[in-house]
Structure 1
């Protein structure tokens, strides 16, 4: 058998201090993950906390609902927190039925067809735009003193005076305004032509439109939209010189209104369901009804025509 070479035998270092049986670790740096992005120094804006409304137990319900100093009319009070489904469930079935009777039938129709109760569904409180606008309008009116006893009495007296004056004017001009004397003849064509020149300013000067009157906007957008918009706004003031209108809608106030078209644009923008590109050209005069007190006086288009007929009567 041939002789095989003998492997070398490891030798111990001459000095015990030079011998280290522990394996050496690599000095290479391990890859590290990228550092986290720097934290922005900009502190996000926090929504302001609503003030807690503390109501004196001695304050009467009448004061809470009529006084302009009522805590319910302050901007820090969110009345919508009182109009929730959970709070509604605290009422008895009879009380729920009584409250539901104050709501338009279209909202009651959202209840299950099998239900014989007139209670309100939960989605009425969560998604009803008209409920929210009505609550905000009440709160704004309350804060502005609209329900103060003296203000209310003055408004009632003003409405009664306006009604008497309007009825007297209507009796004096009944034939030329509401009669059937100018159906399709030349005089009727002349009225229609003259009516197009009548402005809101002219109607204010004639006393047809007055402070505290309301304008009810109604318009159906058919086709693929299938949307019906209905909104009531209040005329809070009429400029004594320019006769421009200042109008309040819930918590919004629109000033320097000179024509119904501009007002219609504001109303549709506030409603938000019909985009500007989907709004057809139309006659806004025909879409607005003048309301005085609890009575609808007439559409603006009809009242404008009445003013035109009155002018023709003066000419004759």
Structure 2
């Protein structure tokens, strides 16, 4: 139980609507109502909490937002220092935040030559996507998958979820894969993925203490996202090799990971209660500027 001092300190943080003696606005019209100072002078021990307040959508939304900020590290000393440096730079004129239009134009330069209609063949797709992929990804394109493995950005137990829409064919290919291990010497990934058109991993592999993979699971060692995408499409069999555009595979993969301090429970979903961590493209960009 809380002490009276602690209870009064917490009660002082709550709005008047959190108490049973609060009147709705329609009932309060035409009546004199104590001022804020007068309300604060009331003995908090005499006021009874309305427990429905804690299930109010507005309160829950604010609480969830606060928890998200805690989880994201927005209240850490390191983040506060970055924010202070940024705000001080904006105020004294030593730092200017680029306009989003300028960032877009820098990362997506206009083509210097006319772009032909996209063909499904590899030869026709290369000029459209391949030669511009690095400029569109920005400076972070210099980072390879092996760099993310070496720096511990990708970890054993992470699920790498693949999804790509082949709009010309009217086909959407999805498949979950899981990192079984990382090689400390070659910085490659050994991943497990379901065979055939099955796109869901067995629950025995997504739990905290996974079993050995069965015959319905394929193991493959990869060093690039393109290698993993090729393996997935080969196993799926819906998209032939000459129908695959040479697009940016980094944007087709999303990382799912257990949050720090996660405690295993009996509620297991498709991805073992992991939370979305971002696309490989996004994670690579963040790591480039944070390292």
Which range, TM-score by smaller chain? 0.3 to 0.5
The TM-score with structure 1 as length reference comes to: 0.40
The TM-score with structure 2 as length reference comes to: 0.43
